Structure formats: C-alpha cells, structure tokens
C-alpha cells in the first residue's frame, strides 16, 4: 500500500466535513479530496512540506469545495470534478466521467458515478489501495440526502457501492457517526460488535472514525442492508 490518507476535520462544529490529504508515498505526489476549508488543509500540508497537485471533488456543494479557490491560488493545484457537477463550479480544470481512471503519481483511481445526493456526485475509488472516498453518498451507518436525484437513483448508486469488495475501506465526507451509533448499540450481531470495537480503538488512538471496511458497513448500515428495491425506496423517501 502506498497511498497515505490523512483525514482533516473542516468546518468543525458547523458542518463537520472531512477533507482528505492523500499522498502517493512512492512518488510524493499529493492531492486533496474535497477541499472543504482551506486553513486546516494548508496547515497540514505546510507542516509536512506537501504541495497538492490536484483537488478531487466528490460533488459541487459549498461545504465540499469551499477551500478550492484559496488552495488553487496557493499551490497551483488543478481541480478535478465530474463533468455533470462541474457546471456548478467556476474553476474546474479537469472533468471526469463514470468509469474513467485518474492518476496521482503511480496511483490510479477510478471514477464511479453515484447520482442521488447531487446529479453528478462521484466516488473516487483507489482499487489497488483499497480506499473509497464517498463524499455525501455514504457515511458511517448512514447515507446522504437527496438534493437533486431520486430514491431510485440512490438505490442504484448504493448497489454500486455494495458490489465493491468487503476489504475496501471508505472515507466519508462528514463526521456523522453519532447519527447511526445508537442503532449500532441496539444491534446484537457480531458485525455490530466489531464495528463498535473499531470505533473505540480509533477513539482511543485519537484518530477520526473513518476507514471502516465496506464489508462491515454492508452488515451494519441500515440503508445498505435493504435488499428489496421497493422497500428501500419507501424507507428512503420516509427517512
Ligand atoms: Zn453535499
Ligand atoms: Fe456535505
């Protein structure tokens, strides 16, 4: 594994977004996923001498792109967004489509389109490094709301996530773990116990609770557990 992932909590106490500074440790190439807020990202990068080359955008919402302009000015990084959501941004440099790959140093990511939260929401999937950046589509124990898409589109998008390998770890766009935690406490399965154990371990180490394996998420996230499309659509429309 040569992809290093540093979660940076942004808009703390307001939106509690996660930006991620990601580095290919072999080449030193660095990028930011969802530059929510410039200052904490700059602080992290500058203290380590990192100079991000790209900002990888999951979707166009302000709380995910608020730091783009300042970081672009400071580091000259290029903004990479889905062609669909790029129309909402004034400063996208590179647009990508479903299924395309994008290279950061020696590392390659695949773009997975997941309409629902926004029409052009994408996931950044680093298959070799088993990391998935899910923006506002998948959170710990929850999923994003529908701002632009339909419950059916969200269903399709979540099926794409469910089809990915269990050992892929995912990195959500917000710290929303608390929202699903009570459900986890009421869940008597071994998977729920393992999920809680991982959260506790990370808490003890002072690490943010991100990077949960998809296999556990599939077993514990109430939205991913639904296998019937009609049930999901009813449930989702009500939630
Ligand atoms: Zn959003
Ligand atoms: Fe958001």
Predicted pLDDT of residue 173: 98
Q: Which ligand is nearest to the CA of 117?
A: 1
Q: Write down the pTM of the prediction.
A: 0.97
From CA 211, how far away is CA 168, in angstroms rounded? 9
Domain count of the chain? 1
Question: Does the pLDDT of residue 239 top 60, yes or no?
Answer: no
Quote the ligand 1 centre to 207 CA distance (angstroms): 23
Average pLDDT over residues 101-110: 97
Question: Given the structure tokens 């990028």, which residue do they identify?
Answer: 31
Question: Does the pLDDT of residue 118 top 90, yes or no?
Answer: yes
Quote the ligand 1 centre to 132 CA distance (angstroms): 17
- For 61, half-sphere exposure in the C-beta direction (CA atoms, 13 angstrom radius) is 21
Average pLDDT over residues 187-213: 96
- Supply 76's token pair: 């000259």
* Each residue's pLDDT tens digit, 66-86: 999 999 999 999 999 999 999
Average pLDDT over residues 99-120: 97
Position 80 in a domain: yes
Question: Does the pLDDT of residue 1 top 60, yes or no?
Answer: no
Quote the ligand 1 centre to 27 CA distance (angstroms): 31
Question: Does the pLDDT of residue 238 top 70, yes or no?
Answer: no
Task: Answer yes or no: are the C-beta atoms of 33 and 22 closer than 8 Å.
Answer: yes
User: Structural domain of residue 21, as residue ranges?
Assistant: 3-88+100-236
Q: Which ligand is nearest to the CA of 147?
A: 1
Q: What percent of the chain has pLDDT over 70?
A: 99
Average pLDDT over residues 208-233: 96
Position 44 in a domain: yes
pLDDT band of 220, cuts 50, 70, 90: very high
Task: Answer yes or no: are the C-beta atoms of 141 and 181 closer than 8 Å.
Answer: yes
Predicted pLDDT of residue 235: 81
From CA 55, how far away is CA 34, in angstroms rounded? 7
Position 94 in a domain: no
Predicted pLDDT of residue 76: 98
Predicted pLDDT of residue 69: 98
Task: Answer yes or no: are the C-beta atoms of 4 and 45 closer than 8 Å.
Answer: no
Task: Answer yes or no: are the C-beta atoms of 120 and 114 closer than 8 Å.
Answer: no
What's the mean pLDDT when you consider all of the chain? Answer: 96
Position 187 in a domain: yes
User: What is the separation, in whole angstroms, between the first and last Cα of the chain?
Assistant: 38
As a whole number of Å, the CA-based R_g of the chain is: 17
* Protein residues within 5 Å, CB atom, of ion ligand 2: 63, 136
* Each residue's pLDDT tens digit, 38-55: 999 999 999 999 999 999
Strand partners, 21: 6, 32
Q: Is residue 79 within a helix (H) or strand (E), and if so which, with residue range? A: strand 78-82
From CA 19, how far away is CA 3, in angstroms rounded? 15
C-alpha dist (Å) from residue 130 to 45, 169, 225: 23, 6, 21
Predicted pLDDT of residue 66: 98
- Supply 202's token pair: 């990370």
At 129, which CATH number? 3.60.15.10
- Supply 124's token pair: 């950044």
- Supply 159's token pair: 């099926």
Strand partners, 39: none
Position 95 in a domain: no
Ramachandran angles phi, psi of 165, nearest 5°? -60, 150
Q: Which ligand is nearest to the CA of 172?
A: 2
Calculated CA dihedral for residues 110, 115, 121, 126, nearest 10 degrees = -20
- For 41, half-sphere exposure in the C-beta direction (CA atoms, 13 angstrom radius) is 33
Position 38 in a domain: yes
Position 93 in a domain: no
């Amino acid at each position: 594994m040569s992809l290093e992932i540093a979660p940076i909590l942004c808009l703390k106490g307001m939106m509690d977004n996660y930006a991620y500074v990601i580095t290919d440790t072999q080449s030193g190439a660095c990028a930011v996923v969802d530059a929510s807020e410039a200052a904490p990202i700059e602080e992290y990068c500058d203290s380590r001498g990192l100079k991000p080359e790209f900002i990888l955008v999951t979707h166009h919402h302000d709380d995910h792109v608020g730091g783009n302009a300042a970081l672009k000015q400071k580091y000259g990084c290029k903004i990479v967004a889905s062609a669909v959501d790029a129309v909402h941004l004034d400063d996208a440099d590179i647009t990508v489509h479903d299924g395309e790959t994008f290279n950061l140093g020696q590392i390659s990511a695949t773009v997975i389109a997941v309409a629902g939260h926004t029409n052009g929401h994408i996931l950044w999937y680093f298959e070799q490094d088993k990391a998935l950046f899910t923006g506002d589509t998948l959170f710990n124990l929850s999923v994003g709301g529908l701002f632009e898409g339909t419950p059916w589109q969200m269903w399709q998008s979540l099926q794409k996530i469910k089809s990915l390998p269990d050992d892929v770890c995912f990195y959500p766009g917000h710290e929303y773990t608390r929202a699903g935690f009570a459900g986890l406490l009421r869940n008597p399965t071994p998977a729920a116990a393992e999920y809680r154990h991982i959260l506790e371990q990370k808490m003890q180490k002072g690490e943010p609770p991100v990077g949960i394996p998809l296999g556990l998420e599939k077993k514990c996230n109430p939205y991913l557990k639904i296998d019937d499309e009609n049930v999901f659509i009813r449930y989702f429309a009500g939630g």
